[in-house]
Amino acid sequence: MSDLSVNIAGLTFKNPVTTASGTFGYGEEFREFFDPGELGGIFVKAVTGKNRDGNAYPRMAETPSGMLNSVGLQNKGIDHFCREIYPKIKDFDTRVIVNVSGSTIEEYVEVAERINELENIPSIELNISCPNVKLGGMAFGTVPAMATEVTAAVRKVYKKVLMVKLSPNVTSITELAKAVADGGADAITLINTLLGMAIDAERRRPVLSTITGGLSGPAIKPVALRMVWQVHKAVNLPIVGLGGIMNATDAIEFILAGASVIQVGTANFIDPMVSVNIVRGIEDYMKRHNVGAITELVGALRTD
Ligand code: SIN
């Protein structure tokens, strides 16, 4: 039997396959396809302090080997999450992790404090990397001093496993990773979307209402792999890796680069079964390569 279990800051996952925030709803929506308990974890949709309607439509565009989104953190706020969503997902037999977003440090702290009280949520993913909002989001995740400040403020009130999701829209990803490590992060999620745009030549107009949006999907995989590898070498924190993972081979590549856990994102929009198939594909890879424990592969990329 292959051992697929991994550990991040004392939190165990039955396998390294999880789903990325904003691509898998609250997990509930996928129950007709498979039992979420087959996954290592689910990173649920972003939660903010108050209701957000999100950006105007159109806010999605297909691009070569990728997808642009500018959803704008649409959600019904922390009260609604605690009252309506949490009771439905709290007994999933998998790690349920909440993506915490905000426009100000106070908002991040407020949401983190509320989630800290929810017994069956063992971890949050602090989202300082959303490229689609005017206030907060990526603004915190592209300036090292601000990244440290917001992480440290949340660290004071959040007592469980604190992951921080970073933006690739920076000159030095290791500088940002070190900044959130200094703020007290337990793990780093890499990468959120790359800022991009699409143009409708016939109408001579941008496709998205917000003009720019976040690029995800296979188009960004080489950038994501490079950043996971750089951060793995530079910072002594576990990494949750994502960016264009479509199959088990992609997942293994991220693990070899240094990710302990991986997230499947855009692929969920194409095939709702993809994440559970990736678990099976990783098992198959381990058998073929005689790997007893998945942890043997974390950062095992050979560059000599
Ligand atoms: C969005 O809601 O605009 C996307 C979320 C993100 O990129 O963090």
pLDDT of residue 214 exceeding 90, the answer is yes
Ligand 1 lined by 71 (C-beta under 6 Å): yes
Q: Is 3.90.1150.10 the CATH classification of the domain at 6-297?
A: no
Q: What is the DSSP string of 84-113?
A: IIHHHHTT-SSEEEEEE--SSHHHHHHHHH
Q: Given the structure tokens 């009771």, which residue do they identify? A: 87
195 by Cβ neighbours in 10 Å (0-12 / 13-18 / 19+) ranks as middle
Distance in Å, CA 101 to ligand 1 centroid: 9
* Cα 184 to Cα 31: distance, rounded to the nearest angstrom: 35
For residue 22 and ligand 1, the question of a CB distance below 6 A is answered with yes
266 pocket-lining for ligand 1 (C-beta < 6 Å)? no
Domain extent listing, the chain: 6-297
Query: Per-residue pLDDT tens for 134-155?
Result: 888 888 999 999 999 999 999 9
Q: Which residue, judged by its Cα, is nearest atom 7 of ligand 1?
A: 130
CA of residue 131 to ligand 1 center, whole Å: 7
Q: Is residue 72 within 6 Å of ligand 1 at its C-beta?
A: yes
Gap from CA of 50 to ligand 1 centroid (Å): 16
pLDDT above 70 coverage of the chain, percent? 100
Instruction: Please state whether beta strands 6-8 and 199-200 pair in parallel, antiparallel, or not at all (unpaired).
Output: unpaired
Ligand 1 pocket residue status of 214, Cβ below 6 Å: yes
> What's the CA-to-centroid distance between 61 and ligand 1, angstroms?
14
35 band by pLDDT with thresholds 50, 70 and 90:
very high
73 Cβ closer than 6 Å to some ligand 1 atom? yes
* Probe target for ligand 1 pocket from 192, 215, 220, 240, with the most ligand atoms within 8 Å of CB: 192
Per the CB < 8 A criterion, the answer to whether 224 and 200 are in contact is no
pTM flag (> 0.95): yes
Residue 71 sits at φ, ψ, to 5 deg, of -65, -40
- Catalytic amino acids? 130
C-beta 139 within 6 A of ligand 1 = no
What are 17-27's pLDDT values in tens digits? 999 999 999 99
Considering only CA atoms, which residue is closest to atom 5 of ligand 1?
Answer: 130
Q: Ligand 1: which atom is nearest the Cα of residue 74?
A: 2
pLDDT at 132: 86
Nearest by Cα to 253 from 298, 283, 289, 192? 298
The per-residue pLDDT for 93 is 97
Distance from Cα 130 to the centre of ligand 1, integer Å: 5
Across 30-45, average pLDDT = 96
Q: What is the pLDDT of residues 63-112, one digit of tens each?
A: 999 999 999 999 999 999 999 999 999 999 999 999 999 999 999 999 99
